Amino acid sequence: MLQGLAADTSLSHAEGFVAVALSLHGPVGVDVEPASRVGMMREIADRICHPDERARIAAHSEGERGMGLLELWVRKEAFLKAAGVGLGREMDTFVLPEGEALALHPGEAEEVTADVLSLGPGVVCAVARRPDVACVAGWARPAETADGA
């Protein structure tokens, strides 16, 4: 929460990418990873996928499997941040359906959906938020100075 403002925030950074999420309407989580990490995803697939998700990932073509795993990773990490537990809960212990809302904690009514954002070919980013809350995403880049720096 921000001091004096009823807002939830989340932060993620990896290899020069930074993602910040702000919500005035409930829990929020964000994760960002460079697309270059696709190659290492198969090595850690068992840590990412619940047994029910393994078959869905295996159905992808060989070329799409790494990206499917990376997208699942960022969606799950964003979800866990919105739940307030971060990587304190193992990703393989729950299923995160694509495009569906899921309770943040078993037995609780509050739900979020975790969606991958389209931000370009070099980055994979996901935001978890209440399903009735719109997500607006954009890029912020450092301003160039007169000397080109």
pLDDT attached to residue 127? 96
Q: Which sequence spans correspond to the domains of the chain?
A: 8-129
pLDDT attached to residue 2? 57
pTM of the model: 0.87
pLDDT attached to residue 96? 94
Q: What is the pLDDT of residues 66-114, one digit of tens each?
A: 999 999 999 999 999 999 988 888 999 999 998 899 999 888 888 999 9
Q: For residues 76 and 7, what is the distance between their CA atoms, to the nearest angstrom? A: 22
Q: What is the pLDDT of residues 22-37, one digit of tens each?
A: 999 999 999 999 999 9
Q: What is the pLDDT of residues 111-129, one digit of tens each?
A: 999 999 988 888 999 999 9
Q: Domain 8-129 belongs to what architecture?
A: Alpha-Beta Complex (3.90)
Closest of 104, 81, 79, 76 to residue 91, by C-alpha? 76
Here the tokens at position 107 are: 């037995």
Q: Are strands 8-14 and 102-103 parallel, antiparallel or unpaired?
A: unpaired
